[in-house]
């Protein structure tokens, strides 16, 4: 059971769920491919193997981040949770959300991903990178209408 599903109250409805974008795997995948080529081309294969092990850890870290990040808008609040072993959660009531900022780089605009920063009254801020379709998520959070 996901964190969001476990904390949603009885009279609450999930309007939108955010998820990480596949682009989070591009750089780790690139380095893993380069390490694989190094492993094939270098004479002492253990050097390439070391690079491959490091890049595999980098790839595993991206996967763990992707699987452990949850973002949702309900009828009552905005919920953000990230972290696998050490968990960090932010839950801000809808009326306390001051702003939801979306930051997109050029590749983010092309591939439709970006970082969302939730700012609540009292200065609570939770920047969450590599969120897929961030503009639709922001619209759901600001309007309180279901997002498909």
CB-CB contact of 107 with 79 (8 Å):
no
Does pLDDT of 105 surpass 90?
yes
Is 80 found in the same domain as 56? no
Is 41 found in the same domain as 11? no
Is 94 found in the same domain as 31? no
111 Cβ partners below 8 Å, 6+ apart? 21, 23
Is 137 found in the same domain as 96? yes
pLDDT of residue 124: 62
pLDDT of residue 90: 81
Is 148 within a domain?
no
Cα separation, 120 vs 92, in Å, equals 6
Q: Is 76 exposed, middle or buried (CB count within 10 Å of its CB: 0-12, 13-18, 19+)? A: middle
Q: What is the pTM of this model?
A: 0.78
The share of the chain scoring above pLDDT 90, in percent, equals 24
Q: What is the pLDDT of residues 107-135, one digit of tens each?
A: 999 999 999 888 877 776 767 888 999 98
Q: What is the CATH number of the domain that holds 14?
A: 2.30.29.30
pLDDT of residue 99: 81
Cα separation, 128 vs 116, in Å, equals 5
Structural domain count of the chain: 2
Cα separation, 100 vs 77, in Å, equals 13
């Amino acid at each position: 059971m996901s964190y969001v599903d476990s904390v949603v109250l009885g009279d609450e409805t999930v309007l939108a769920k955010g998820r990480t974008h596949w682009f989070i795997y591009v750089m780790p995948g690139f380095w893993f491919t380069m390490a694989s080529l190094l492993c094939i081309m270098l004479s002492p294969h253990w050097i390439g193997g070391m690079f491959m092990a490091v890049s595999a850890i980098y790839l595993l870290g991206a996967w763990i981040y992707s699987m452990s990040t949850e973002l949702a808008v309900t009828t009552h609040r905005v919920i953000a949770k990230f972290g696998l072993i050490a968990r960090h959660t932010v839950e801000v009531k809808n009326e306390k959300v001051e702003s939801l900022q979306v930051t997109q780089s050029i590749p983010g605009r092309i591939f439709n991903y970006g970082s969302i920063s939730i700012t609540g009254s009292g200065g609570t801020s939770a920047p969450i990178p590599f969120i897929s379709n961030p503009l639709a998520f922001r619209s759901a959070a600001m309007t309180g209408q279901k997002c498909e």
